[in-house]
A and B are shown apart, each in its own frame.
Chain A
């Protein structure tokens, strides 16, 4: 199956700083990428959907100015958590799809801890 990578796999940052998480499709072109957030012992909640070359669509309650998503190429999407706070500590997972009739592949996730 297709491979999606995320970098970094884990990151610790100080409160008030920004952190960028990368999601890459390694062997296919991802026209659509999704960003999910999973708090400890909870389910995955969609944060936003991004299509290559256009602005991301954010789910209700997700601050677009805090969680900046860029999908500038067909193989890379980035999520930047700006001015991170401890409550942003979570497991962030991306997924990618190369079309409406194709599978959605998940990355391994990035564990963010804000101190």
Chain B
């Protein structure tokens, strides 16, 4: 069975601070995909990143960066120089396949950026 754990339920930081959201996963599959989604108050899921299990390179996209460590089954997400618009719930998710397999979501981390 697959499982995604986001131990941080809520985080609050002051604007411009850096913040890291933790994600730990469990799976028996040798090939799998990890995702991060942002869910603003409107409710719509915003895709942030997808990473397959064979690609352990860290990725940076603007103020966002992701650290994938297979050895610890973690896929952490860091926002640098946080902004108020980053306030949202962030979900980490796991899939056994790229497209037509179900996503197993973590419980989410509610991030509040204090102006």
Residues of A within 8 A of B (CB): 1, 31-32, 34, 41-46, 49, 51, 91, 93, 95, 97-104, 106, 108-109, 111
Contact = CB atoms under 8 A, between A and B. Distances in A.
A24 B42 CA distance: 19
Contact of B105 (A32, A44, A99): A44
Nearest to B100: A32
State the majority secondary structure of interface residues on B: loop
A42 B107 contact: yes
Contacts, number: 62
A100 B44 contact: no
A39 to B, nearest CB: 12
6 contacts: A32-B100, A42-B107, A44-B91, A44-B105, A51-B100, A97-B100
Given A93-B45, A106-B44, A109-B44, A101 B99 contact: yes
Contact of A103 (B44, B99, B110): B99
B41 to A, nearest CB: 12
B43 A43 contact: no
